[in-house]
Chain A
Amino acid sequence: MTAAQAARQVFGFFGFLGRRTGKTRVFAILGLIPVVLAVVVRVFLHGRAGLMADVSTEILMVFFLQFYIVILALFYGTSITAEEVENRTLSYLLTRPIPKPAIILGKFAAYTALMFAMVGLSLALSYFIINAGRLGDPAVYGALLRYLGVLGLGILAYTAFFAFLGTILKRAIIIGLVFGFGWENVIQYFPGSTQRFSIVHYLKSLLPYHPANVGGGRGVALLLFRLEPTKPVVAVIMLAVITAGLLALACWFFRIKEYLYEE
């Protein structure tokens, strides 16, 4: 069996397992928060589309970009290796005729697909509820696709990062929390090139930005504030490099490292 075939089989098995776990149920429920929020906003904004819908969408994106995909990627990404070691089920995988990198890649693909399904469904529902008054406008659908694309890239990059952490560290989740909700939240506001050391900087650089629209809502402007956005093409390339590079490193470490179960 080639590595690609093996990764596909791992994808199938863990895609199935992933859907079954309690963790997925909890995170799927968490994904209902923006939908509920959207319903509340919709009721509040009844009859007033446009500006406030944009503002609400931006608030939604803060939730998705700086919380939901980070927490999802943190738990699913680190679990690619850590859950097998902590649950001692790694023996079942390491004694199969599949290359070790296929385990990482297959689980990565399965979990990112699962996360994207949860995020995509939650975003689409909440977005359509908020923009229910202007569903005839093709631009609404274009913007949704763009948001989905950005979140998809975010899921890939963050999951690759946390998968890498989970592969090299025993308590990856702690470091991951510090990175996801500390470093990423702070460093993006540093001027100059420092902000480029965060994943969220590249994700925000891809989002549509309406500074004129947000004039009356400084709080919202600050939430999605970006100092010197990177060009979209460069941002996409950087996110792709981060994802591929960290995944390659995770595969390499997983191949050479031995994992001992704690007694």
Chain B
Amino acid sequence: MTAVIAAASLSKWYGNVLGLNDVTLEIEDGITGLLGPNGAGKSTFMKLITGQMKPNIGTVTVRGRKVWNNPELFQGIGFCPEQDVFYEDVTGWEFLTGLLRFYGYAGTEIRDRAARALDIVGLTADKDRLIRGYSRGMRQRIKFAQAVAHDPSILILDEPLSGLDPLGKRKLIRLIKGFRDQGRTVLVSSHVLPEIEALTSRIVLIHQGKILAQGDIPYVRELIEAHPHQISVRSSDPRALAARFVGDPSIQKMTFGPDGRTLVVETHKRDEFFGRLTGVVLEAGIEVDEISSPDDNLQSVFEYLVGK
């Protein structure tokens, strides 16, 4: 399959800070999730592939054409920026129709497209309100609307789900999937694994400006499984709790927290541990205040991969 977006040995730095380091990547039709913690280089990569920044080293092309200073390319690209920024003194309708002018459409077509985009994101009723009066979720939706209003074949979405409530997220996820079903290319970034999981199984892991891994969700899950989970249990008697787990083969390591009330357990079999924990706590009559999994997130997977 031919790559829609291709980056070759792409590097970008800001003064002494490395934003992106020797990234070679091909993005094909369908949805690709760009996953990484804050500051990983996701936005830098997105700005490079949308021609907002120029690479220091390497090349980036969209459908085989260079991006930097190639405005014609944007007739077919929709971009939703991460920042919550707008021309605040306009209404949602004015914002959309204003930006649609830049595609050379006639007045009627501008109005039709703006109305359709507003309908897609469910903002028709609020189209005449000033954007500065929109809620965070509405702002996120109008930002998405401006990215899709011109019907692009490539959609680049930088953290599009942030700030949305669960219902809003579900709606937007359905919309994005709808674009994929129409045969379009979607690149979506996020620092939240479940968000990406809900959208696609094709993931690119990025950290500290480097591509750590790319593949499907099961592959990433494997990486997580290979990394021992830390589970922290704060209770009335952590030592009694530890004594009950000493012989448990699923436990790799146990330590006590500095507060003297926390037991920190490392295990590869998290579900098994939780299964046993309930029984042990009830049996021994230990009062549990809090159970948390401090490394049960993407950051820890990345840290694990980086340290590997």
Which listed segment binds A: B27-35, B100-108, B195-203? Answer: B100-108
CA distance A215 to B249 in the complex (A): 106
Chain A residues, Cβ within 8 Å of B103:
1, 96-97
Q: Are A97 and B98 in contact (CB under 8 A)?
A: no
Contacting residues, chain B, for A16 (C-beta < 8 A): 90, 94, 98
Is A260's CB under 8 angstroms from B14's CB?
Answer: yes
Given A6-B102, A17-B90, CB of A89 within 8 Å of CB of B77: no
A258 touches B54 (CB 8 A): yes
Q: Nearest CB to that of B97 among chain A residues?
A: A13
Contact A10 B86, beta carbon cutoff 8 Å: no
* Minimum distance in angstroms from A70 CB to a CB of chain B: 25
Residue of A nearest to B44 (CB): A260
Residue numbers in B under 8 Å from A89 (CB-CB)? 85-87
The interface bits of chain B over 123-137 (1 if a CB of A lies within 8 angstroms of the residue's CB, else 0) are: 000000000000000
CB contact between A258 and one of B52, B86, B90, B146 (< 8 Å): that residue: B52
Chain B: interface size category: 20 to 34
Whether, in the assembled complex, B109 has its beta carbon less than 8 Å from a beta carbon of chain A, the answer is no
B99, CB-defined interface residue at 8 Å: yes
Is residue B112 contacting chain A, with contact meaning CB distance below 8 A?
no
Q: How does the 8 Å CB contact mask read for A67-110 relative to B, with 1 for contact and 0 for none?
A: 00000000000000000000111111111111110000000000
A115 to B10, CA, bound (A): 44
Q: Which of A6, A9, A17, A94 contacts B50 (CB 8 A)?
A: A94
Least Cβ–Cβ distance between A94 and chain B, in angstroms: 5
* Chain B 52-88 per-residue mask, 1 if CB under 8 angstroms from chain A, else 0: 1110000000000000010111110101010101110
**A261 contacts B by Cβ under 8 Å:** yes
Quick check: B73 and A97 within 8 Å, CB to CB? yes
Q: Are A91 and B79 also in contact (CB < 8 A) when A96-B74, A97-B72, A97-B103 are?
A: yes
Which chain B residue has the least Cβ–Cβ distance from A261? B83
B59 to chain A, nearest CB (A): 16
Dominant SS among interface residues on chain A: helix
B92 within 8 A of A: no
- Docked Cα-Cα span, A10 to B99, in Å, equals 9
Whether A98 contacts B87 in the complex (CB less than 8 A), given A255-B69, A258-B53, A260-B14, comes out as: no
Answer whether residue B119 sits at the interface, using C-beta atoms and an 8 A cutoff.
Answer: no
Task: Please name the residue on chain A nearest to B83 by beta carbon.
Answer: A88
Q: Which chain A positions have C-beta within 8 A of B85?
A: 87-89, 91
A17 with B52, Cβ < 8 A, contacts A92-B81, A97-B73 known: no
Given A13-B98, A98-B71, A90:B86 Cβ within 8 A:
no
Q: Is A21 an interface residue (CB 8 A)?
A: yes
Q: Please, which residues of chain B bring their CB within 8 A of the CB of A99?
A: 71
Q: Considering residues A1, A21, A88, A96, which has the most beta carbons from chain B within 10 angstroms of its beta carbon?
A: A96
- Interface size of A by CB at 8 A reads 30
Using Cβ atoms and an 8 Å threshold, which residues of chain A touch B74?
95-97
Is residue B296 contacting chain A, with contact meaning CB distance below 8 A? no
Which residue of the partner chain B has the closest CB to A94? B52
C-alpha gap A5/B102 in the complex (Å) = 9
A5 touches B104 (CB 8 A): yes
CB-based contact A98/B102 at 8 Å: yes
- Once the chains are docked, how many angstroms separate the CA of A255 from the CA of B71? 11
Inter-subunit contact A95/B14 (CB<8 Å)? no
With a cutoff of 8 Å between Cβ atoms, the chain B residues found around residue A98 in the complex are 71, 102
Cα–Cα, bound, A92→B86 (Å): 9
CB-CB contacts of A1-18 with B at 8 A, as 1s and 0s?
A: 100011001101100110
Contact A95 B98 (CB under 8 A): no
Contacts of A94 in B (CB 8 A): 50-52
On chain A, the residues within 8 Å of B69 by CB distance are: 100, 255
The answer to whether residues A96 and B102 also contact, given A17-B90, A87-B85, A91-B52 and a CB cut-off of 8 A, is yes
A260 CA to B98 CA in the complex, in Å? 24
CA distance A10 to B72 in the complex (A): 16
User: B22 to chain A: closest CB distance in Å?
Assistant: 20
Nearest CB of A to B20, in Å: 13
User: At the interface, yes or no: A20 with Cβ under 8 Å from chain B?
Assistant: yes
What is the distance, in angstroms, from B136's C-beta to the closest C-beta of chain A? 16
Given contacts A13-B98, A255-B69, contact A1 B53 (CB under 8 A): no
Closest-CB distance, A29 to chain B (whole angstroms): 17
Bound form: Cα–Cα A216–B81 in Å: 63
Contact of A95 with B51 at beta-carbon distance under 8 Å, contacts A17-B90, A88-B85, A260-B14 already known: yes
Task: A52 to B83: give the CA distance in the assembly, Å.
Answer: 57
How far is B52's CA from A260's CA once the two chains are assembled, in angstroms?
9
Set B53, B87, B102: member contacting A97, Cβ < 8 A? B102
**A21 CB contact (under 8 Å) in B77, B83, B89, B99:** B89
Cα of A98 to Cα of B81 in the assembled complex, Å:
18
Which of chain B's residues have a CB closer than 8 A to the CB of A95?
50-52, 74, 77, 79
7 more contacts with CB within 8 A, not counting A92-B81, A260-B14, are: A12-B101, A13-B98, A89-B86, A91-B50, A95-B74, A96-B99, A97-B73
* Residues of chain B at the chain A interface (Cβ within 8 Å): 14, 47, 50-54, 69, 71-75, 77, 79, 81, 83, 85-87, 89-90, 94, 98-99, 101-104, 146
The 7 listed contacts between A and B (C-beta, < 8 Å) are: A17-B90, A87-B87, A94-B50, A97-B71, A97-B75, A97-B104, A261-B83
